[in-house]
Structure 1
Amino acid sequence: SIVCVTGQHREMLDSVLKIFNIKSDYDLNIMSHGQTIIDISNKVLAGTDRVIKECNPDIVLVHGDTSTTFNGALAAFYNKVLVGHVEAGLRSFDLYSPFPEESNRKLTTALATLHFSPTTTNKRNLINEGIDEKKIFVTGNTVIDALMSVVDKNHVFDEEVLNKIDYKNKKVVLLTTHRRENWGAPMEAIFSAVCELIQANDDVEVIFPMHKNPAIRELAHTYFDQYNDRIHLIEPLEYLDFTNLMSRVHLIMSDSGGVQEEAPALGKPVLVLRTETERPEAVEAGTVKLSGVIKENIFKLANELINNKEEYEKMCNASNPYGDGSACEKIVNEIYNYFNVSE
């Protein structure tokens, strides 16, 4: 196999490649300051086109719902190369939320031949869109495979403040928020609700790995600096630190998609800071709750999970719908089956 990375999320990418000892054969290194989605798309399309022409692969696997995913699939399609989509069939049913991810994954579906869906709900979405059921494979999500191999109760964090927090006796909340649709007033509502949560509960501490966006950082300091002994503003975490932090906190408040899958595998409730989710099976299973982006709703739900032990444990013990850590093996087997070859 040949590994091509685009570098769309440079900091996270490099740490993950190192952790899992993956060496990329091609690195497009597309990122530069101030570029738009159009700029990213143009670079990915042209770069992956060059790689495909040079390597002449039998299949191109793309993962997820980023601009890299869609444009990588488009480059393969233009070269008449089979596309396999990992994490296929997720839908929010709102083309602009999350943006541009919902459109990216729908467009990728149109180009793919093999669809590797994390859940039966994802499979059903694809069938409803007219995709041949024989080309859809329910595998679980590969993030669970990765997660299970890196969580360590003795892990030491690079960020020293994380080693000093009393996870046993404090109710530590991990906050992550970065989505475009939450910039502005929704972000202010989220931050205001977190401040209210701190004021109402003496035993709560919050960890917020700040997004690189300067506007988010400025707003975070405006709201949180007055509570700097209990709200810890830190730099974005690498994968190993982030996953191990998830395993230790009491509650996660996040607008991330992946966290909705990872945290339940660790038995951690997630309050999703969005009005809808492309992962409805998590809501149905009871591992996550949608809070929306209204301050009062966010505070009410978060405060309940801090103070209502029965409700909290109910979410902790809910069954994770995203697989058992064997997704990668299932995907590889289905590819072998498609090409009628043995391992």
Structure 2
Amino acid sequence: MSILCTRPSAIKMSPIVHALQQNDAFDSVVCVTGQHREMLDQVLRLFNIKPDHDLNIMQANQDLTSVTTRVLEGMKTVLQSVKPDWILVQGDTTSTFAASLAAFYQKIPVGHVEAGLRTQDIYAPFPEEANRSMTSCIAAMHFAPTESAKQNLLAENIKSQHIAVTGNTVIDALLWARDKVNQETNWSSVFGSEIQNLINQKQKIILITGHRRENFGDGFERVCTAFQTLAKNHPEWHFVYPVHLNPNVQKPVKAILSQLPNFHLIDPLEYAPFVYLMDKAKLIITDSGGVQEEVPSLGKPVLVTREVTERPEGVDAGVAILVGTDAEKIIRETESLMQDEKRYAKMAHISNPYGDGHAASKIIDALLRFKS
């Protein structure tokens, strides 16, 4: 049974669901928790996945405790009905941990996709660092995306025979989606004709995302102030920002950036048009973990607006730069990549350390070996 929770989780689990459905050795069942209802449903439609079970846990203004208890109660009923041999969970959402705990209570083994990511700071990111660490305590099989993630697991006394290094399934999903979205040449109905015209005219675009809780408040204001300076100093560049709906993001972004003529604030995007924008942008600035992993496969440098990252491989390989929320550093590193063509080209041509697009098949192979 595959558990899909949020939009990023569904994106990363979709290649595994497809691989399981195509393999006669498995009877594939899909359960969604609905932690991010609307955004989750968008991904299910894109990847043509029809859930067998839907916990539909979303309620207005629910907190982490409510999410945890509702997933535990919902999974209890589903697991008692289906009695799966395994459940597969992904990443570090609250639903991931709660579903793993529900399976543990029924002595059903858990396979953890994207296992072993660590910052070593339980509150950064919050609550993800704790969620993934506790899931590792429960899991019987750990699918680590990188060798570094495997080493983190070994350091926690997890046996090597229970770990498989597979690469990250987000690369599988990205390459599949890129081929699909580039069959459509006009996305103006999604993000407007102004941005589509910029793309058609091959204007220089910086794509921005931001949503991390740990950056709320002063951190977001510093980041937005840096963007304001960059936009004013470089009117020949265009900045496209799909703004997260959280008021902690909306308020500073609109207050600081909405009046700039080369800054384009748009509504959050479904995955397909977002992949299209990533593919057409010159540079990405983000605090998203998934985007950090995806961008190198598109040949783009990425600046990460976080103080620490559980994905150090991109920084170590030279495809990502950790800039935090330091306005001066954001400006300095962005302008360097705007102006230094050799540095830009060097970063853009480094192979993606997070995978080769075949992670799902490696996970299936590892499951079959573990079963035997």
Q: Fold-level match, TM-score > 0.5? A: yes
Tell me the C-alpha RMSD between the 2 structures.
1.2
Is 1:196 the counterpart of 2:229 in the alignment? yes
- Give, in angstroms, the shift of residue 167 of structure 1: 6.2
Contact 1:167 1:248 in 2 (8 A): no
Aligned-partner SS, 1:32: coil
Tell me which of 241, 244, 254 is aligned to 1:208: 241
Q: Does 1:313 align with 2:342?
A: no
CA–CA separation in structure 1 for the residues paired with 2:174 and 2:252: 31
> Given that residues 3 and 24 in structure 1 are in contact (C-alpha distance below 8 angstroms), is that contact kept between their aligned partners in structure 2?
yes
- Name the counterpart of 2:264: 232
Question: Which residue in 2 is equivalent to 1:251?
Answer: 283
Partner of 2:274: 242
| Cα deviations by residue, 1:233-270 (Å, 9 ceiling, x for unpaired) | 11110011111111110111100000010001111111
CA distance in 1, matches of 2:251, 2:316: 36
Equivalent residue number for residue 263 of structure 1: 295
Alignment map for 1:1-343 (pairs within 5 Å): 1-151=28-178, 152-155=181-184, 156-157=186-187, 158-161=190-193, 162-166=195-199, 169-227=202-260, 229-340=261-372
**Counterpart contact for 1:144–1:325, Cα < 8 Å:** yes
Alpha-carbon offset, residue 170 of structure 1 = 2.4
**Preserved contact between residue 11 and residue 238 of structure 1 (Cα < 8 Å):** no
- Preserved contact between residue 60 and residue 76 of structure 1 (Cα < 8 Å): yes
Say which SS state the counterpart of residue 195 (structure 1) adopts. Answer: helix
Question: How many Å apart are 1:226 and its aligned residue?
Answer: 1.6
The aligned amino acid for 1:252 is I
Q: Distance in 2 between the 1:233 and 1:58 partners?
A: 46
Which residue identity is paired with 1:172? Answer: I
Structure 1 position 319, deviation (Å): 1.5
**What displacement does 1:338 show?**
1.6
Once the 2 structures are TM-superposed, how far is the Cα of residue 290 of structure 1 from its aligned partner?
0.1
Work out the CA distance in 2 between the residues paired with 1:290 and 1:37. 28
Question: Could you tell me how far apart the structure 1 residues matched to 2:107 and 2:348 are?
Answer: 46
Report Cα offsets for 1:58-110 as digits up to 9, x if no partner: 00100110001101100000110000000000111111001000000000000
**Structure 1: any 5+ residue segments left out of the alignment?**
none
* Larger helix percent: 2
Q: Distance in 2 between matches of 1:172 and 1:102?
A: 32
Report sequence identity in percent.
46
Q: For 2:326 and 2:315, how far apart are their aligned partners in 1? A: 19
Question: Structure 2, unaligned stretches of length 5 or more?
Answer: 1-27
| Deviation at residue 153 of structure 1 after TM alignment | 3.3
TM-score (norm 2): 0.89
Count of equivalent residues: 339
CA shift in 2, pair 1:142/1:281, >3 Å: same
* Deviations 1:104-163, CA, capped at 9 Å, x for gaps: 000000000100011001001100110000110010111011111111434332222432
The alpha-carbon deviation at position 20 of structure 1 amounts to 1.0
